[in-house]
């Protein structure tokens, strides 16, 4: 039995109510630990770009709210790298040091409200849809953050990762 079969099995069990959220999280951890990094990144990108999940900005905001200071800085820096100069200037008004250096520290990132991240992410995404790939690469390195999006997102990510890994 391959990874895809394992994922289908646990998703079926979870949907039928015979697997707990902890079982689903354990399987997610196993999938992201087993699959190649590009499959993990692309599976997460599928979640971020799916019509069956929350809007992109809301998911990024939720992930941001659940991240550590360093993870928040990493997310913001990935957004900044994909943003137009106008969007970077707006962020610079929230964090003046970011405008000067082009980067955000963990301490600076924690001062930004989640609703500002949602708006920023949505604006960057509308101007540069490639930001999904940038952030999914970051989230692939921090898969525990993806768990905070909930079981539907984990199931979709696992399914897509397993399909690409096979």
Q: How many CB atoms lie within 10 A of CB 85?
A: 7
Q: How many CB atoms lie within 10 A of CB 131?
A: 22
Note the residue count of the chain. Answer: 166
Cα–Cα distance for residue pair 119/117, rounded to 1 Å:
5
Dump strand ranges (E) for the chain: none
Please determine, for residue 19, whether its predicted confidence score (pLDDT) is greater than 80.
no
Q: Which of 74, 69, 83, 81 is closest to 124 using CA atoms?
A: 83
Q: What percent of the chain clears pLDDT 70, i.e. is strictly above it?
A: 92
Average pLDDT in the 32-49 region? 91
Mean of all residue pLDDT scores within the chain: 86
How wide is the angle at C-alpha 79 spanned by C-alphas 75 and 85, nearest 5°?
Answer: 150
The domain segmentation of the chain, as residue ranges, is 1-53+149-166, 54-145
- What is each CA distance from 86 to 8, 67, 83, 141, 150, in whole angstroms? 44, 26, 8, 29, 33
pLDDT in tens, 132-154: 999 999 999 999 999 999 888 88
**What pLDDT band is residue 96 in, cutting at 50, 70 and 90?**
low
pTM score: 0.86
Q: Which of 74, 153, 89 is closest to 120 using CA atoms?
A: 89
Q: Got the DSSP string for 103-125?
A: ---HHHHTTS-HHHHHHHHHHHH
pLDDT in tens, 45-72: 999 998 888 999 999 999 999 999 999 9
């Amino acid at each position: 039995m391959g990874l895809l079969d394992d994922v289908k099995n646990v998703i079926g069990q979870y949907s039928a109510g015979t697997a707990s959220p902890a079982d689903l999280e354990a399987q997610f951890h196993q999938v992201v630990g087993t699959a190649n990094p590009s499959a993990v990144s692309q599976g997460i990108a599928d979640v971020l770009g799916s019509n069956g999940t929350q809007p992109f900005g809301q998911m990024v905001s939720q992930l941001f709210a659940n991240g550590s200071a360093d993870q928040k800085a990493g997310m913001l820096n990935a957004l900044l790298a994909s943003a137009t100069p106008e969007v970077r200037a707006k962020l610079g008004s929230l964090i003046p040091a970011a405008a000067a250096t082009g980067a955000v520290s963990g301490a600076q990132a924690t001062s930004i409200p989640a609703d500002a991240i949602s708006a920023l992410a949505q604006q960057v995404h509308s101007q540069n849809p490639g930001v999904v790939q940038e952030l999914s690469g970051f989230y692939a390195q921090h898969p525990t953050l993806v768990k905070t999006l909930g079981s539907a997102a984990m199931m979709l990510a696992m399914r897509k990762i397993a399909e690409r890994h096979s």
